[in-house]
Structure 1
Amino acid sequence: MSIIDLMAALMGVSMGFLAFLVIGGISGASAWIFYPGTSSGLRSGRILIAFLLGFIAAAISSYLGQYWDLFQSGQILEWASAIFASCAVGCVFTALAK
């Protein structure tokens, strides 16, 4: 019985990780692509940094919200905070980098 509980806990962690990787990465990369301003083309290094910063912001906002008891894992507020945080961090990075 404990093996099943351990597997369920690990699946929840890995699925959350993958979801924040996708959500944060897409938000950060799209902030780099669609942010107005002069750009010297699509540099893979800077778009990768925007991707990673979006992922980190999404994961941190989720874990902080759960730590402060604002929401629980899987609630819509968790997804909204992850999307907002990754977009905000992506826009700030892009504004500073362009």
Structure 2
Amino acid sequence: MAIIDLMAALMEVSMGFLAFLVIGGISGASAWIFYPGPSQGFRPGKVFVAFLLGFIAAAGSSFLGQYLGFFQSGQILEWASAIFASCTVACVFTALTK
């Protein structure tokens, strides 16, 4: 809870750390699981890396878009950019590693 409050206070982000974690994590893990191609079985390490990359992409796109002035915190464009960035990064990672 303290991390979320600290992020909101320092970066003026209302979407918050957990939202990035959920959006990025779900899109990253689902990209790994549902991406077509030959799979060598379930590998928890690779799914975790896809989860982490999705989270970083979602948070990075939100912060970068706010910094460049494309949108403000909490707008629907922030959510859309976070989802698009995390899906794109996770799919590229999955395509390169599968």
Q: TM-score range by the shorter chain?
A: 0.7 to 0.9
Under a length normalisation based on structure 1, what TM-score does the superposition of the two structures give? Answer: 0.86
Task: List 4+ stretches of structure 1 deviating above 4 A.
Answer: 12-15
Task: Give the unaligned 5+ runs of structure 1.
Answer: 1-5
Residue of structure 1 equivalent to 2:75: 75
The percent of aligned pairs where both chains have the same amino acid is: 81
Matches within 5 A, 1:11-90: 13=13, 16-90=16-90
Is 2:59–2:82's contact at 8 Å kept on the other side of the alignment? Answer: yes
State how far apart, in whole Å, the 2-side matches of 1:93 and 1:68 are: 26
Residue of structure 2 equivalent to 1:3: none
After superposition, the Cα gap between the structure-2 partners of 1:54 and 1:95, relative to the gap in structure 1 and judged at 3 Å, is: same
Equivalent residues, number: 91
State the Cα RMSD in Å. Answer: 1.8
**Greater Rg over alpha carbons, structure:** 1
Under a length normalisation based on structure 2, what TM-score does the superposition of the two structures give? Answer: 0.86
Match of 2:36, SS state, is: coil
